[in-house]
Amino acid sequence: MNIFVEDIKQDVIIGIDLYSFEVKAAQPFFGVKNVPLLPTLHVIHFQQTENGLRYGYWFETDQNAYMQFQYDATKELFVPKYQIDDQSRNDAYNRFQKTQHLMIAYPSVDEEDRWHELTKHVRWSAVKHSTASGGYFAYVDSVMTTTEENNLLSKVLANRCESSKREIVVPDTEAVLNYTPIVFKSTEAIRPQYKMEDFLDKSWYLGHVILPRYHHNSFYALLGEFQWAFLNAMLFANYGSSLQWHSILELVCFSSTIAPEHVRAFDEVVAHQLTVIPAPYCETLLNEQVWSKCMLRSFQAIALPHTTRELEKTIPDVLADIPDSEERDYAPGTRFSGAHPGVNLNEHTIGSDSDDDGPVVVERICYTPL
């Protein structure tokens, strides 16, 4: 498949999947050619200034279609056009014959088949649902929020402004990422009669709420969202996607009753993700506290050998022993059915509005080309 890019009037970094390159203004350049048909899911992304918005479009390949991106000065974005009718295909074919020598070829050598491994559980239908996209493209950028972030912000603003009698409404016209809502302290996650057990072990929440309600009882569908959230966090520095990635990581690691084949698949997915994170991203993309908890305290910690090996290469500090003075929730492989001396449920009130759950204001995001 071939992708045309037009009207490059300023320097821009263009990326396709894991690869990126800089194109100078007025440089003869007409796009990307030979985008593989398998895997079918790909993403093209743009960044027009060093610290500017990073945005892009997810799509599925089609051997009978051509894509065209043209700069829209009003929107200050490259916007897509999908050419699939016979006349457009003929025009695009003739154009390709004339300009292919000025197009960048999609890298043909990927010995580890990285893009396939990073997207093999992601389904295009789920991507379109998560972005409310009805067409051929699913738009994502670095500042898009998630549905949960918007809901939380609305709740916090309402509580803080109640005394002033003013109504503050969070705009709902902006595009959002509709990820699976994962709220560990909610009444959906913790049953009243099993507060301690559900607080320590997320198995009921995963098996009776998250999978049947949002993923048709498919663990691999959840794994697909896990992969897609990771890529949106890494490629676009999207904060909400990073939160979702960590939430699913914690949900799986702290569930004790997951089928062994699902744990093995999860281990392989996480390990592949860790191999492609650029070193400068580790400090901002990975929450070391969550990773330490998952890799040293959770039920699945000892069942993730590939992940452990990759962590030893990228951020070995998360695998260091937990100081005795630091509170432990529980040790790997332990099952609980009653009070646990290390946890005070009064400090973890279900549905509480503590500042820990408040919105985070990001003052600056720095991008590093992949």
pLDDT (tens digit per residue) in 171-184 = 555 789 999 999 99
Mean pLDDT of the chain: 83
Pinpoint the alpha helices (H) of the chain: 86-99, 114-119, 124-131, 147-160, 195-200, 203-205, 211-214, 219-236, 239-253, 260-276, 282-285, 288-296, 305-314
Residue in 36, 35, 1, 7 with CA at minimum distance from that of residue 23 = 7
Please name each of the domains of the chain with its CATH number: 2-109 (2.60.34.20), 145-357 (1.25.40.550)
The pTM is what? 0.84
**36: confidence class by pLDDT, cuts 50, 70, 90:** very high
DSSP 8-state class, residue 322: P
Q: Is the pLDDT of residue 369 over 60?
A: no
pLDDT above 70 covers a percentage of the chain that reads: 81
Residue 177, Cβ density class (10 Å: 0-12 exposed, 13-18 middle, ≥19 buried): buried
296 against 112, higher pLDDT: 296
Note the pLDDT tens digit of each residue in 248-261. 999 999 999 999 99
Residue 9: pLDDT above 90? no
Instruction: Provide the 8-state DSSP code for 355.
Output: G
The bridge status of strand 31-33 relative to strand 104-105 is parallel
Give the confidence band of 358 by pLDDT, cuts at 50, 70, 90: very low
Residues 181-236 have pLDDT tens digits of: 999 999 999 999 999 999 999 999 999 999 999 999 999 999 999 999 999 999 99
* The predicted structure's pLDDT at residue 306: 97
pLDDT above 80: residue 351? no
Q: Please state whether the peptide bond connecting residue 359 to the residue before it is cis, i.e. omega within 30 degrees of 0.
A: no
The CA-based angle 160-152-47, given to 5 degrees, is: 120
pLDDT band at 111 (very low <50, low <70, confident <90, very high): low
Q: What pLDDT, on a 0 to 100 scale, did the predictor assign at position 62?
A: 87
Query: Given a cut of 60, is residue 319 above it in pLDDT?
Result: yes
pLDDT at position 51: 76
- The confidence score (pLDDT) of residue 16 equals 96
Please, which pLDDT band fits residue 154 given cuts at 50, 70 and 90? low
pLDDT at residue 88, as a whole number:
82
Residue 346 has pLDDT above 50, yes or no: no
Residue type, 236: F
Give the per-residue pLDDT at 347.
34
Mean pLDDT is lowest, of 15-29, 228-242, 248-262, 329-343, for 329-343
